[in-house]
Chains A and B, each alone.
Chain A
């Protein structure tokens, strides 16, 4: 088999996963609804004071985005594991890390991208100034793919388990700390009138690192889960 055809399944997998998500629209919208509900819980807990809400808007939206990605991770490999497609992926001539990467890309398009787009709007509802919301959009766009990539390792390790869901959050949340720090830090800096480039660049560096390393770790984890 030539190298070109070995990588031919990748766009097909993305297309298939997007199609599946379109067919189950209600399920695909859950992360977005979750984000909306978690964000709207905070004004109820903190009080409607606009100054206080504006100061914590970045952190609220970031934590909510993180949790909503975490919630949607469960679906990443579940159905493929249950119906045996994952084993076929592992046996195929296409490298498993590449297949994993295309699964993660499709997953991010379905559950990460809506969060990226909705996050700044929700933050403006929490009285975050408009130009700062722009920075929030950038930081979410760089950060949520890392959440999906790093999370895929945790899902890969726990996909064979009955109650993997709560375990995934235990495994993955400590690894999310740097993403949250730089993501929310960028917005915090922008609202203080400081340049946020450094935070965004560090997020970009983490994304580059995760893009290269996370699929390899996830593939190894999946092989163990399937053994």
Chain B
């Protein structure tokens, strides 16, 4: 009798890339729900648009590259990228902003480098940074949390704003938008106010950071813990990033609490926890050795703190991730684990 010949091991693989990506999406659901609760339908519309644009753009590039569409479009990696960018955009960002962001993320950062697995930079962060640099006004028009608004926008109104750019009758951008907690702290500090005073005088600050923002961050962290529990992401990168951000924050806050915000504030404001659990954990563009992941995460955390505190932008997760992406191959090369039977520990 004749048989099929294949190379060992013959057991089938127990895991699947698409399943990993789906788990990441499930873990994003609590954060997405809370963000929608506080900031309105625009959050969901942004995510939906980003997914639609992302898949369309990816299909277009794959067709140009003569690659089969199904395996790539069904691996959910573009959906994850789109979801992350959608969450990072201002809630009423015009539709073309999302399109340009996804163009940079999917076409330039991902497909032009060869597609999933070959991109040296995190696609969502490339898209975000491209937008932040090119359209700073649009990218910093953030809404008040709904709880501070008199009449929250309906789904139809949000849709209309995103596609036409015109606000409904009687509403102005000034009345709808507010600085993010990080931005508020930054601006007020530059006007030589002390931190306790800033927090006390601004109704936008809550228990942990900003009203609304703090609970979105908590929800991201919950989703992230789910990813850790299912071993979808390694523990090293999130932990290192959280420590890399909060340890310097703790040190400076202890040195001068009127000038330097607490580590709690830093963690629950801006993109810190979204970054720690969902962005620095991108395996493709990050470091891949156990020690390398610690260095990578810590690097992102420290860089974020430095730019937030002394740099030109209120938040800096995206910049820090891209800076560390550049160093990932170097980090990997110099952090190879000790091979079995080599060097120290052999006679442990």
Are A and B physically bound partners? no
List chain B positions with a Cβ less than 8 A from chain A: none
Q: Show the binding face of A for B, using Cβ within 8 Å.
A: none
